[in-house]
Amino acid sequence: MKRILSGMQPTSQLHLGNYLGALKNWVNFQEDKEAERLYCVVDLHAITQPYEPETLAKATREIAAAYMAAGIDPKKSTIFVQSHVPQHSQLMWLLSTMAQMGKLERMTQFKDKAGKNAERAGLGLFAYPVLMAADILIYKATHVPVGEDQKQHLELARDLASTFNTRYGVDLFPQPEPVIAGPAPRVMSLRDGSKKMSKSDESDMSRINLIDDADTIAKKIKKAKTDPEALPDNLKALDGRPEALNLITLYAALADQSKESVLTQFAGKQFSEFKPAFIDLAVTRLSPITARMNELLSDPAQIDASLREGGEKARDIAAPVLQETMKIMGFMP
Ligand code: TRP
């Protein structure tokens, strides 16, 4: 049985990188009849860094709405909120006894987020990857679609699965496989082709947010950094032209076309010709998602009901796995 699990933090507005690098993929997995899918909003992870309690629930709903607006159908995939399934936290504690400090200290995301002040970083930020491992293992998930930057965390989840199995002489947890795929696994900033498109970039011009309206999208694409050359007729010729490559990648991903065929179409053209076509495409593809998201958010009770239902389904899977884990570990029934 193939079970796919992934999640996103409700920390701020989603952008094109989240959509093309993750969500669009998650939607594609719905065609896989052999697989079961669980997509959670990882709110417990979101509190590992400074946050506003007043906006946590709202942000959680917004991410759930984005999942649904992007095309994840709650009837085909289980959409739920991490904190609604207490078994994630419970399994995390059990796994934390097997997670080596040395390995956690080597996590690049921890080092980045803790910055110079690692002494003052919270235990939660340090233990973040153990909670992520619990998110995955509590469902015995086999496939985990993640970005390149999460590979190290997934490695820890694999490690904890086999440490547990070996320590207790069982075959409880399968090895979760990272799935790093999709039309555009690395979407770069519109202002600098060597930097990832990121919600933490201080320039909003560097990214296209899923809530941007058509005018904003057009403005951002018009201002997107390019180079003075015309577009070539082959991919190889885009080496050393990171901004051009990024725009072609984005166009291809949005159009469900290969990069080669996009280049065939625009070979010899200047960006002044490419950009208007790109604006049209981006607006055509993104505005239905934005509209759907706004529609969903106008009726939060409906989203909440859907998430409650998803939470129930998730708990039905997670509860027996936790029970089995605790039995193996020798806890009193
Ligand atoms: N750490 C992931 C990220 O920042 C989010 C996440 C938390 C996740 N738990 C997960 C992703 C479990 C996949 C599976 O992108």
Q: Which regions in the chain score pLDDT beneath 70?
A: 183
> Is the CB of residue 7 below 6 angstroms from any atom belonging to ligand 1?
yes
Q: Which atom of ligand 1 is nearest the CA belonging to 147? A: 15
Q: How far is CA 135 from CA 141, 197, 218, 227, in A?
A: 9, 26, 38, 43
| Residue of 199, 219, 275, 313 with catalytic role | 199
CA of 7 to the centre of ligand 1 (A): 5
CA of 220 to the centre of ligand 1 (A): 28
**Burial level of 299, CB count in 10 A (0-12/13-18/19+)?**
exposed
Contact 58, 287 (CB under 8 A): no
Question: Is 103 annotated as catalytic?
Answer: no
Question: Is 2 annotated as catalytic?
Answer: no
pTM of the model: 0.93
Instruction: Write the residue with the smallest CA distance to atom 15 of ligand 1.
Output: 8
Q: How far does CA 103 lie from the centroid of its chain?
A: 23
Closest CA to 166 of 103, 102, 101, 98: 98
Q: State the pLDDT at residue 118.
A: 87
CA of 125 to the centre of ligand 1 (A): 13
> Is the CB of residue 45 below 6 angstroms from any atom belonging to ligand 1?
yes
CA of 238 to the centre of ligand 1 (A): 32
Q: Which atom of ligand 1 is nearest the CA belonging to 22? A: 15
> Is the CB of residue 46 below 6 angstroms from any atom belonging to ligand 1?
no
> Is the CB of residue 5 below 6 angstroms from any atom belonging to ligand 1?
yes
Closest CA to 286 of 61, 77, 75, 66: 66
Q: Which atom of ligand 1 is nearest the CA belonging to 82? A: 9
Q: State the pLDDT at residue 117.
A: 86
Under 8 Å CB-to-CB from 151, ≥6 apart: which residues? 178, 180
Instruction: Write the residue with the smallest CA distance to atom 6 of ligand 1.
Output: 7
Which of 37, 104, 108, 132 has most ligand 1 atoms within 8 Å of its beta carbon, as the pocket-test mutant? 132
| Residue of 76, 103, 113, 313 with catalytic role | 113
Contact 17, 148 (CB under 8 A): no
Instruction: Give the pLDDT confidence of 180-196 residue by residue, as tens digits.
Output: 877 677 899 999 999 99
Instruction: Write the residue with the smallest CA distance to atom 14 of ligand 1.
Output: 6
Which of 19, 49, 153, 197 has most ligand 1 atoms within 8 Å of its beta carbon, as the pocket-test mutant? 153
| Residue of 24, 140, 196, 259 with catalytic role | 196
Q: State the pLDDT at residue 156.
A: 98
Question: Is 199 annotated as catalytic?
Answer: yes
Angle of helix 271-297 versus helix 300-328 axis, rounded to 10 = 80
> Is the CB of residue 136 below 6 angstroms from any atom belonging to ligand 1?
yes
CA of 305 to the centre of ligand 1 (A): 23
